[in-house]
Every structure is written in structure tokens, then in C-alpha cells.
Copies of this chain bind each other. A is one copy, B any other.
């Protein structure tokens, strides 16, 4: 659906990373982890297109006065990388945003009771918190999170507050282990050889490495992809990725916005 959101807060949680809370219609409480929103940052031509962001959290705020009604809110966690996110970062409580949500398909939560491994790279962590909140209700959840440096490791105390064991790694060793998140993940997977399934979100090379690990260890793995998007609703065909069987002659392109952003890694081509 399309609606106007009121910005409630917009806080820099780490240098260059912001968390924004906005009001949303009550229907959004039915949003599923892995779905995303498209935000029109400004009613102007620069930036022109909407910007996509994963849903970091959906929550219902109790009214702070008698007779008030509860307010559904949605959080996004974003990194300032260009014009759109820069503009977003200057917004304050009281500003309004034009939002499309919820978009795309969320994660398949899998069988309750199974062990769940979340893998996040940088701001790719964003959709995993909403997912984690669901999963911890029934499952044992582990979080593997990587970043370039300490400042790129976001919000892990919130995961820990859910009782999730977290494994942190940074390229420069300023927090957690030094190395790639997938290296840490690999060690753990090898150690465990147990039944588990993976939910990953982050830069494409990381996802590719995670998919390779899942393949090797024969465990299920869902990945949440990013792509340049114009429409977010499956109309422009800007955001496609090739499905496993895709060829020029028998095209099988999937829209990240509509068929994703979450895919089973086996659906996709990982050349």
C-alpha cells in the first residue's frame, strides 16, 4: 500500500548509519521479515526515484495518554551513501515521507525448532533483526555479522538482548575476529555439521560466498538481494536477476522487488 508516514525519530546509530522510526498504518503489523519499503525521500526531482530499504522492525507503540490508540511503527536502518540517503539523514521528527510498503516476499521462516543462522554484512544486517525477533520465538538463533571496521557493526546489542549468540568479524580486526564474516561462518559450520538453515543479507560477494558454503554443507539458505530499483512493484524490470535456468533463448529473470528480495539460493544463478 501507499501511505504518508510521520517521522518519529532519526538517529545516527554509528558514524554514517541512521535508524529512522516512522508511523505506518496498522495493516503493516502483518509485514513479514525480509519485506521492504520504498521511500520517496522528497517531493522533488532530486532525488527522483524512490529508495528501497529493508524493514528493520515493526512495532506497536502503546498510547502515552488515556484513550489514545496504539500506533504501528516501522524502523529502517540505513547507511548514507548518496543523495537519497543523505537527504533522508537530515529529516527530523515531524517530517513526512511518502512510503510504499510492504513490498516483496519475506523470508520463509522454515521449520520451528531448527537451528537458524543469520548472516549479515554491514547494513545488510537491517532486515535480519525483524527476522530474528520472529525466529527466537521458536528457534535457536545465531548471528554472524561482518563489516569493514568497528563502525560498520550495527545494533548487535539488540540482537543479544533477544538472547542471540553473535559472532562478529571485521576486515581490520577492530571488533571481533579479523577476517570475513564468511570465514568465521565456515569455521562454525564445519565445527557443527548440524542441521541448520541460513538467512543472509549483505553485499553480493558475501552472498555468493555464503551460497557456496550452503551448497558445500548441504544446508538450506535464503538470501536477500539488492538491486537498482525504479518501481518496486514488478513493472519496470530494472531489478532483475537471472534464475538458475536462465538463458538468452529461454529467459528466466526474477524481479528482486516482486519475486524477491528474498530467494532460495538454489533458485538463482551464481556465476
A: residues with CB less than 8 A from B are 44-46
By DSSP majority rule, is chain A's interface helix, strand, loop, or mixed?
loop
Copies of this polypeptide in the complex: 2
Residue of B nearest to A44 (CB): B46
Q: Report the bound CA distance from A46 to B46 in whole Å.
A: 7
State the Cβ distance, A227 to closest chain B Cβ, in Å: 26
Q: How far is the CB of A42 from chain B (nearest CB, A)?
A: 9
Q: Which 5 residue pairs of A and B lie closest in terms of their CB atoms, listed nearest first?
A: A45-B46, A44-B46, A46-B46, A45-B45, A44-B44
- Which residue in chain B gives the minimum CB-CB distance to A87? B44
On chain B, the residues within 8 Å of A45 by CB distance are 45-46
User: Could you tell me the distance between the alpha carbons of A216 and B56 in the complex, rounded to whole angstroms?
Assistant: 75
How distant is the Cα of A44 from the Cα of B41 in the complex, in angstroms? Answer: 14
Residue of B nearest to A83 (CB): B44
Q: How far is the CA of A45 from the CA of B42 in the complex (A)?
A: 13
Q: List 5 A-B contacts (CB under 8 A).
A: A44-B44, A44-B46, A45-B45, A45-B46, A46-B46
Residues in B whose Cβ lies below 8 Å from that of A44: 44, 46
